[in-house]
A and B are shown apart, each in its own frame.
Chain A
Amino acid sequence: MMDEKFFIGLLALAFVKATPITLGALTGIYSERSGIINIGIEGTMLVAAFTSFIVSVVSQNLWVGLLGGMLAGGLVSLLLAVLSIRYKVNQIIAGMVINLLAIGVTNYATRVYIDTSGIAGIGVLPKWRIPLLMDIPILGPILFQHQPLVYFMFGLVVLTHYVMFYTPWGLRTRAVGEHPRAADTVGIPVNPMRYASTVIGGLIAGMAGSFLVVEAVGSFQKMMTTGRGFIALAVMIFGRWNPFGALVAALLFGFAEALGVRLQLGDINNIQALVYLTGLGMLLGGTIQMITDFVKKKETRSKIIAGMVAITGLIAAILGQTLTFPPTVIPFQFLGILPYVLTILVLTGMVRGAAAPAAEGVVYEKQ
């Protein structure tokens, strides 16, 4: 059953699932590169999702809803910036305040206004099938038959990379996040840069939140972000505060989520799929690690470990393809855990030595 169609469907879904996570990670990149820790991405997304729903219903236009969601995200991030910069609140606490506030406000509003009136959504944005490109075998259906925000996400990744590393704006933003006093002595306004960067991030978080309403679900549900803002943070760290790194990491999470969704259909042997795909993943990861080890001339032990992972993966993949597995159905609640388990593994194992911007979380005060 695990044929070409299965993989195409799975990968296409992975890109969809990776979209809000990547956008959330870009939010983190903008604010943290400028020195403001943003753990309020989750709350920002939630408020944006709620706002985009209301605005789209009122205006009867999903694009206006998207715009409303982005503005809401920008405003929530402005609140984070004001708390962190103007009032020097500990930034972890400020972010937590935003998360709790978002849950409280949206739950209350939903209960009082939406549940009672039974407002219905107005659907989701249609797919944009890119002419010609969509007809490419395999790649076409995976990459070029998506709803608009998936393409926007790719565009923003490229744009953010350009802005951060190839323009004065990015150079200054990073300087402010690494060594604010150095930036100040060459006349760069530290705190205004931080406000700007955090709010730009907020607009993007707004897009991530709106995505859930205007593309994925079509209506607002309580706590519908379900931790995606936190996964985005893990992704940002895993991607070392780089947009493309974040995209790759988000695809990993998106894939895990897509797999969970796909297996629930019940037409595929769950255990076989897990064994097979884990094997493929290990084979891929181990091989890439081994190549980088050789390129970077790492110690032999590291190469051997990578090689063993790759070989184990290969064996698992072959077994997964050949053996017959008992037809066990894993309860869908467990399959839904996959991305969260992955988050824990990533945060405990793989982020050691990740270099955060040096002045992150430190209030800048002129002498």
Chain B
Amino acid sequence: MAEQQLALRVEDVTKRFPGVLANNDINFDLEKGEIHALLGENGAGKTTLMNIIYGLYKPDDGKITINGEEVVLHDPNDAIRRGIGMVHQHFMLVPVMTVTENVMLGNEKTTTNFLHMLAPLDRKRIAREITQLADQHNLKVDPSAYVRDLPVGTQQRVEIIKALHRGAEILILDEPTAVLTPQEADELFDIMRSLTQKGKSIIFITHKLKEVLAIADRITVLRGGQVVGSAIPSETSEHELASMMVGRDVLLEVEKSEAMPGDVVLDVTDLIAEDDLGHQVVRGVSFEVRAGEILGVAGVQGNGQREMVEALTGLRRAVGGHITLLGENITRSQPRHITDIGSAHVPEDRHKHGLVLPFTVADNLVLNAYHVEPFSKQFFVNRAAIDANADRLVQEFDVRTPSIETPASSLSGGNQQKTIVARELSHATVKLLIVNQPTRGLDVGSIEFIHKRIVQARDNGVAVLLISAELDEIMGLADRIAVMYSGRIVATVPAEGADRNRLGLLMAGAEVSSEINTLM
């Protein structure tokens, strides 16, 4: 192809961090008007490469060409000037400011003289420009709205407008669908297509295989800091891409047999809970989970899932309703009592609530049982028992750690999560397992392992409550699916034959139609 058609070309780029070769001799190019997907697991080097292109890191070696001109990017300003725009995975928007203020930030266009920092802001002009861009690219947004009041899908549009307003010709979208419902993701894909039709080029970073096949023109796969392959969607498959990403054959579908539901283990009626600000965010939730089944709670983050789980585990006081675990009313019980009865909890935020990061792996593995024999005798902890326990669990749950004395903070996300799962499932009396977003941000290998363990627990007669924002995860694992929206369970359906589209609509708050009611 002709050199002029390339929007961006990265040649032989290498970047070393102390002890890690993050990017090893990477070659990558982007044609004008193309969507080029960059696929890879966490730690594959995607983010490093993008930070190099965006001017945040300097490569140790190699060169970057933009529109046929070789460039050296010192900081993001350089990259922005050359027409590169980035939509970060975690939005770079100031919540207490309006859309206009966020778009103009750093690019206020007041005057060009030396007083430009103290000249009056022209909010009206920028708002007009935003409306223009929005009309042009089909990105509906109200310039005077405060960002904190906008749904995530709209916030993402603001990020895209922000980049376009700075004159971006090349857009880097970093895991853009991670926070979206399936419908919002489809809308985003429409926007991406319309952008490329108007001549913009897009680098689409993701680890979701379905999306890559749906939207990309070309695919480049990274693993261990190297390009391990590239493909065209029409000539490849999910399975092939997954194997390329992981470097071995992987099972994408969880193998599981028919569920054999037993007695009711957890019974929740009309549960009401408030968030930290006193807003009612769980508004009368009722469900039950039986031994030997997985109830999946699907829903976009922030619809009350966190508060519900905290109420179920005793970490938050329920304002109303009843929670019964194995016949005992635990609505007002202490977390330790709930744990002792037989509840295990894999929390949403593994750093904040799952682990004590500075503690060793061995100590983290007994956080739920250090106070009972054999780990404690009279006033003292029994190191020997704790270490023996750690040795056994590290082996059994395949936690890759240099030693059991390593602090949990230095493990990878996948191994941290395995540590938590090992601790929770090894507890003597576990009858109920509550797992909240168990595989968020994990690599395919760890996901596979954790999914297997969850199904195994179910097969051993544990009642499993799985909360996840990933619809694929819910559909793959659950026996029954409950959809949570705005603090309520809006529908419960058997996983067998559940319709992906309809679930997505429910997650987005579409009215519960009579059809779905009959499905129940």
A171-B104, A175-B97, A175-B105 known; A185+B92 contact, CB < 8 A: yes
Say whether A178 contacts B118, CB under 8 Å: no
A88 within 8 A of partner (CB): no
Q: Which residues of A contact B108 (CB under 8 A)?
A: 168, 171
B101 at the interface (CB under 8 A from A): yes
- Size bin of chain B's contact surface: 20 to 34
Are the C-beta atoms of B117 and A175 separated by less than 8 Å? no
Name the residue on B nearest A177 (C-beta): B94
B336-352 contacts to A (CB < 8 Å): none
Instruction: Decide if A186 touches B80 in the complex (CB within 8 Å).
Output: yes
Tell me which residues across on chain A come within 8 A of B88, comparing CB atoms: 185
Report B78-99 residues with CB < 8 Å from chain A CB: 80, 86, 88, 91-97
Most buried by A among B75, B91, B96, B105: B105
Most central of B76, B92, B95 by chain A CB within 10 Å: B92
Tell yes or no: A188 within 8 A of B by CB. yes
CA distance A364 to B266 in the complex (A): 44
A-B contact pairs, 16 of them (CB 8 A): A167-B110, A167-B118, A167-B119, A167-B120, A167-B121, A168-B108, A168-B116, A175-B106, A178-B94, A178-B95, A178-B96, A178-B97, A182-B92, A184-B76, A186-B76, A187-B75
* Nearest Cβ on chain B to A307's Cβ, whole angstroms: 24
Residues of B within 8 A of A182 (CB): 91-94, 102, 105
Q: Is the CB of A167 within 8 A of B117?
A: yes
Among candidates B51, B105, B118, residue contacting A186 with C-beta atoms closer than 8 Å: B105
- Structural contact, A174 and B97, CB atoms closer than 8 A: yes
Q: Is B150 an interface residue (CB 8 A)?
A: no
- The answer to whether A169 and B117 touch (CB under 8 A), given A178-B96, A185-B86, A187-B106, is yes
Cβ contact within 8 Å between B94 and A168: no
Q: Could you tell me which residues of chain A, from 163 to 207, have a CB within 8 Å of some CB in chain B?
A: 163, 166-169, 171-172, 174-175, 178-179, 181-188
Write the nearest CB–CB distance from B168 to chain A, whole angstroms. 12
Provide the residues of chain B in CB contact with A172, threshold 8 Å: 105-106, 117
Chain A residues whose C-beta falls within 8 Å of the C-beta of B101 in the assembled complex? 171
Taking residues whose C-beta sits less than 8 angstroms from the other chain, chain A's interface range is: 20 to 34
B56 interface residue (CB < 8 Å to A): yes
Q: Is B403 an interface position by the 8 A CB rule? A: no
Q: Check B93 against A179 for contact (C-beta < 8 Å).
A: yes
Measured CB to CB, the closest approach of chain A to B174, in angstroms, equals 11
CB proximity of B57 to chain A, nearest CB, Å: 9
Closest to A159 in B: B118
Give Cα A355–Cα B277 distance, bound, in whole angstroms. Answer: 12
Q: Which of A166, A186, A358, A367 contacts B107 (CB 8 A)?
A: A186
Q: How far is the CA of A187 from the CA of B106 in the complex (A)?
A: 7
Q: How far apart are the CA atoms of A175 and B94 in the complex, in Å?
A: 7
Q: Which residues of B contact A366 (CB under 8 A)?
A: 56
A84–chain B nearest beta-carbon distance, Å: 21
The distance in angstroms between the C-alpha atoms of A253 and B451, with both chains bound, is 62
**Is B517 part of the contact surface with A, judged by Cβ < 8 Å?**
no
Query: Does B269 lie at the interface of the complex (its beta carbon under 8 Å from any beta carbon of A)?
Result: no
**Which of A168, A178, A188 has the most C-beta atoms of chain B within 10 angstroms of its own C-beta?**
A168
CB of A355 within 8 A of CB of B96, answer yes
Contacts of B162 in A (CB 8 A): 186
